[in-house]
Amino acid sequence: MGIIAGLYVAVTFLLSAISFGPVQVRVSEALTLLPIIYPEAIIGLFLGCFLANLLGPWGAIDIIFGSLITLVAAMITYRFRHSIIAYLSPILLNAFFVSLYLYAFFRIPYWPTVLTIGLGQSIAVLALGVPLLRLLKARQTRP
């Protein structure tokens, strides 16, 4: 859990220029598929997101809601780990709900933000997370 949380925070801040805001590719979100093979990743992702958002520019709103969205997405990913839902939950929950609180609290346009966050999440989860997951699964099957 601690390693996953630490990696999440480190990658988020290493790439902080693209990790926050309505147009983002939070590369650390590639880790959101880890609950498929590691149930303990659920808490690690929540803690990592919480710590990253704690130090991020959006304040309490992002700390609370962003972290809870990551927690729910990680739980869904684990629960539906044998389904496409596992891959879609971090993308769709972040796209729709992060955009919702950015709109509600900061008046950032909702639908354009759904598209940009959804695209950024898709890049992180599908282009980076899927290969990472395949690599880790392959290493698990080696004697």
77-125 per-position pLDDT tens digit? 999 999 999 999 999 999 999 999 999 999 999 999 999 999 999 999 9
pTM: 0.95
Position 143 scores a pLDDT of 64
Cα distances (angstroms) measured from residue 97 to each of 4, 10, 64, 77, 82: 23, 24, 12, 16, 24
On the question of pLDDT at 141 being above 80, the answer is no
